[in-house]
């Protein structure tokens, strides 16, 4: 993974000192609440319902074991001993003290971590595929490009006060695991006819109040132009994005208002002045970035024998076999597998992890995965490089720590924001709904039979739980001071991305389990063979679901 040099460290240390000074000035009354607000937000600090929330950046979801141990220690020293993995692959502390945040940041900086631009109207943490570099279907590793974008976007002088937040995602595979079509800018690594790497740039995707699927603004950008082209897009947005209404301030609204052709023309006009300027990437810089994402020291061994041993272990221990089947994924190197660690055990808030679990994960990363770990936008963790002859002992360790729930990609792998229990923006609680559904559908055979199913829950319109792109989406709404839940069906975050369609009038919290039962029963009745939920929905449409869910009892 990327390793900070003296320049990166200097920038980070300067930022910590600057933020410490800003906090001190706020605490003595020299900075007003209104002035401090965007400054603390640009440093990931929200003031929440019960306490501030500090969001720490995990650039494109990649961490090493030293960083994990630091997070565990900070969660003990400054918080209540657990943290939350967000849907932007970041890590959130729930209960830090505002006055202590500069100390937390100073400690994070010692391991190359920070909270820069994890909130606020600026360019946020760039996200990518959690299987980057090891996926079997990858055209090219997106991480070097993510790192180039990370550096360019960090403390960018021109784009710190945009009309609204700005999110970029990169993917390099056929199956889009980074939801790039739901981002302000999506970058897809593609090949041109000559087989050279090119960048397809999508713009104007986003969730929130007005969900939109991004559209292509450039089909085959030469990679060296990445930063100047991004600058041109951001400048058009900074100058012309709406600032009079925060619900109409995202770039998707500007792109819709201008139309993609006029928007593209405006970008090209700006780009004409920036293209081939000093920000044009050099071959050396691209090579330097790639040099941090080379193969670890994979061992050479007889993969066939190891596979035979694994098969044998699986036949002896069916619980292990099931975990291998559900939570591990094929790796591009024979003899290795990608291991998903589910943070969706029933009874725990989705995406939460304790200090002890973090320390165990650091140990396991060192022991089994070259010291690295990834966070996912599905709020789980990944050990990317595990040799299959050691899967069994890894599983035993995970099992003993409650980290082996075999539900990756299934109904109970719920994606869920912290909701009204924590967040001051939320209209409704999301965690109790997730828990009630997980508790009701605890029969593993049943959820496997349902097949792959994305259930996404957001406590408000801001859509941190990405409810629009869940196969089943649940949105908390406020109806005259009462918490209600709106259900949508048919969303997808994959390459065939779609926005879910609202089923009908919203429901009370206590009815949500029964509503889920009706939706799932309808699906089971209508599905053909092993058809996944999304395919059935796309075949039969929303009406059969609507009829069943809203049918009056006889």
Partner 1 sequence: MPRLIKDGVIVEDDSPEVLDLEQWLACSDRTQRAVVLEPGETLAPLIEHLDEIPLVMINFPIFMDGRGFSYARELRERGYRGEIRAVGHFIRDQLTYLARCGVNAFEFDDESELENALDSLGDFSEYYQASADQPQPLFRRRA
Interface with partner 1 by CB under 8 A: which residues? 5, 7, 10-11, 14-15, 17-18, 22, 31, 35, 38-39, 121, 151-152, 154-163, 227, 235, 238-239, 243, 273-274, 277-279, 281-282, 285, 288
Kindly state the smallest distance separating residue 287's Cβ from partner 1, in Å: 11
Q: List Cβ neighbours of 206 (8 Å cut-off, separation of 6 or more).
A: 167, 182, 183, 184, 212, 214, 250, 251, 252
Q: Among residues 22 and 488, whose Cβ is nearest to partner 1? A: 22
CB 91 within 8 A of CB 71: yes
Q: Among residues 24 and 175, whose Cβ is nearest to partner 1? A: 24
Q: Among residues 121 and 506, whose Cβ is nearest to partner 1? A: 121
Q: How far apart are CA 516 and CA 408, in angstroms?
A: 19
Which whole-number Å values give the CA distances from 247 to 42, 164, 353, in the listed order? Answer: 19, 9, 33
Q: How far apart are CA 431 and CA 150, in angstroms?
A: 32
Q: How far apart are CA 458 and CA 475, in angstroms?
A: 5
Q: How far apart are CA 133 and CA 15, in angstroms?
A: 31
Task: Map residue 377 onto helix, strand or coil.
Answer: coil
CB 441 within 8 A of CB 447: yes
Which whole-number Å values give the CA distances from 94 to 280, 324, 423, in the listed order? Answer: 40, 33, 10
Q: How far apart are CA 507 and CA 416, in angstroms?
A: 18
Kindly state the smallest distance separating residue 50's Cβ from partner 1, in Å: 27
Kindly state the smallest distance separating residue 225's Cβ from partner 1, in Å: 14
Kindly state the smallest distance separating residue 235's Cβ from partner 1, in Å: 5
Q: Among residues 200 and 275, whose Cβ is nearest to partner 1? A: 275
Nearest to 173 by CA among 191, 147, 195: 191
DSSP 462-516: T-TT-GGGSSEEEEEEEETTEEEEEEEE--B-STT-BPPEE-SS-EEGGGHHHHH
Task: Map residue 44 onto helix, strand or coil.
Answer: coil
Q: Among residues 102 and 465, whose Cβ is nearest to partner 1? A: 102
Q: Which two tokens stand for residue 258?
A: 């201008």
Q: How far apart are CA 371 and CA 383, in angstroms?
A: 9
Kindly state the smallest distance separating residue 549's Cβ from partner 1, in Å: 43
Q: Among residues 284 and 297, whose Cβ is nearest to partner 1? A: 284
Q: Among residues 14 and 196, whose Cβ is nearest to partner 1? A: 14
Q: Output the CA angle 385-391-394, nearest 5 degrees.
A: 95
Kindly state the smallest distance separating residue 268's Cβ from partner 1, in Å: 16
H-assigned helices in 28-64 = 33-41
Residues in a beta bridge with 495 = none
Q: Among residues 161 and 301, whose Cβ is nearest to partner 1? A: 161
Q: Among residues 282 and 393, whose Cβ is nearest to partner 1? A: 282
Q: Among residues 157 and 195, whose Cβ is nearest to partner 1? A: 157
Q: List Cβ neighbours of 59 (8 Å cut-off, separation of 6 or more).
A: 2, 125, 126, 146, 147, 150
DSSP 186-226: EEEEEE-TTS-EEEEEEE--B-TTS-B--EEEEEEE-GGGH
Kindly state the smallest distance separating residue 254's Cβ from partner 1, in Å: 13
Q: Which two tokens stand for residue 405?
A: 């729930």
Q: Which two tokens stand for residue 551?
A: 């049918």
For the chain, what percentages of helix, strand and coil (3-state, to nearest 5) are there? Answer: 40, 20, 40
Kindly state the smallest distance separating residue 462's Cβ from partner 1, in Å: 19
Kindly state the smallest distance separating residue 240's Cβ from partner 1, in Å: 9
Kindly state the smallest distance separating residue 262's Cβ from partner 1, in Å: 15
Kindly state the smallest distance separating residue 551's Cβ from partner 1, in Å: 50
Q: Among residues 278 and 347, whose Cβ is nearest to partner 1? A: 278
Kindly state the smallest distance separating residue 155's Cβ from partner 1, in Å: 7
Kindly state the smallest distance separating residue 208's Cβ from partner 1, in Å: 19
* Residue labelled with tokens 């909270």: 115
Q: Among residues 142 and 163, whose Cβ is nearest to partner 1? A: 163
Q: Given CA atoms 361, 367, 373, 378 in this order, what sign does their dihedral have?
A: negative
Q: Among residues 25 and 76, whose Cβ is nearest to partner 1? A: 25
């Amino acid at each position: 993974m990327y390793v900070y040099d003296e320049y990166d460290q200097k920038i980070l240390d300067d930022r910590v000192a600057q933020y410490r000074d800003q906090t001190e000035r706020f605490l003595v009354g020299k900075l007003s609440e209104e002035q401090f607000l965007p400054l603390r937000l640009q440093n990931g600090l929200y003031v929440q319902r019960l306490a501030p929330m500090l969001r720490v950046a995990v650039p494109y979801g990649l961490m090493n074991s030293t960083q994990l141990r630091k997070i565990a220690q900070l969660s003990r020293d400054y918080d209540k001993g657990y943290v939350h993995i967000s849907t932007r692959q970041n890590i959130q502390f729930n209960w830090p003290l505002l006055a202590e945040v500069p100390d937390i940041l100073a400690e994070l900086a010692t391991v190359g971590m920070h909270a820069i631009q994890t909130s606020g109207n600026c360019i946020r943490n760039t996200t990518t595929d959690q299987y980057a570099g090891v996926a079997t279907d990858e055209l090219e590793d997106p991480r070097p490009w993510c790192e180039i974008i990370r550096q360019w976007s960090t403390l960018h002088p021109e784009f710190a006060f945009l009309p609204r937040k700005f999110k970029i995602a990169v993917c390099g595979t056929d199956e889009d695991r980074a939801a790039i079509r739901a981002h302000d800018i999506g970058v897809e690594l593609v090949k041109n006819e000559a087989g050279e790497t090119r960048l397809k740039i999508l713009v104007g995707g986003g969730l929130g109040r007005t969900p939109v699927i991004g559209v292509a603004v450039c089909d085959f950008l030469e990679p060296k132009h990445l930063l100047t082209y991004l600058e041109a897009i951001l400048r058009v947005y900074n100058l012309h994005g709406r600032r009079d209404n925060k619900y109409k301030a995202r770039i998707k609204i500007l792109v819709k208002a201008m139309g993609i052709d006029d928007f593209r023309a405006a970008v090209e006009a700006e780009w004409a002045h920036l293209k081939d300027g000093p920000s044009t990437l050099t071959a050396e810089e691209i090579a330097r970035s790639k040099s941090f994402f080379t193969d670890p020291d994979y061992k050479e061994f007889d993969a066939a024998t190891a596979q035979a041993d694994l098969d044998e272990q699986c036949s002896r221990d069916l619980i292990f076999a099931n975990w291998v089947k559900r939570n591990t994924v094929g790796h591009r190197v024979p003899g290795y597998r990608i291991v998903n660690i589910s943070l969706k055990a029933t009874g725990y808030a989705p995406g939460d992890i304790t200090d002890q679990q973090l320390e165990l994960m650091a140990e396991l990363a060192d022991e089994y995965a070259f010291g690295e770990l990834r966070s996912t936008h599905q709020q789980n963790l990944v050990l990317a490089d595990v040799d299959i002859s050691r899967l069994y002992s890894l599983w035993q360790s995970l099992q003993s720590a409650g980290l082996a729930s075999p539900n990756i990609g299934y109904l109970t792998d719920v994606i869920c924001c912290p909701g009204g229990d924590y967040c001051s923006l939320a209209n409704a609680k999301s965690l109790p709904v997730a828990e009630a559904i997980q508790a009701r559908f605890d029969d593993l055979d049943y959820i496997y039979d349902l097949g792959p199913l994305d259930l996404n829950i957001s406590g408000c319109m801001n859509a941190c739980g990405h409810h629009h792109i869940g196969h089943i989406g649940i949105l908390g709404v406020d109806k005259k001071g009462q918490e209600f839940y709106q259900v949508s069906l048919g969303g997808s975050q994959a390459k065939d991305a779609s926005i879910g369609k609202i089923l009908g009038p919203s429901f009370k919290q206590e009815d949500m389990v029964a509503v889920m039962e009706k939706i799932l029963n309808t699906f089971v009745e209508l599905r053909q063979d092993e058809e996944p939920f999304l395919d059935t929905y796309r075949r039969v449409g929303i009406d059969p679901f609507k009829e069943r869910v809203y049918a009056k009892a006889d």
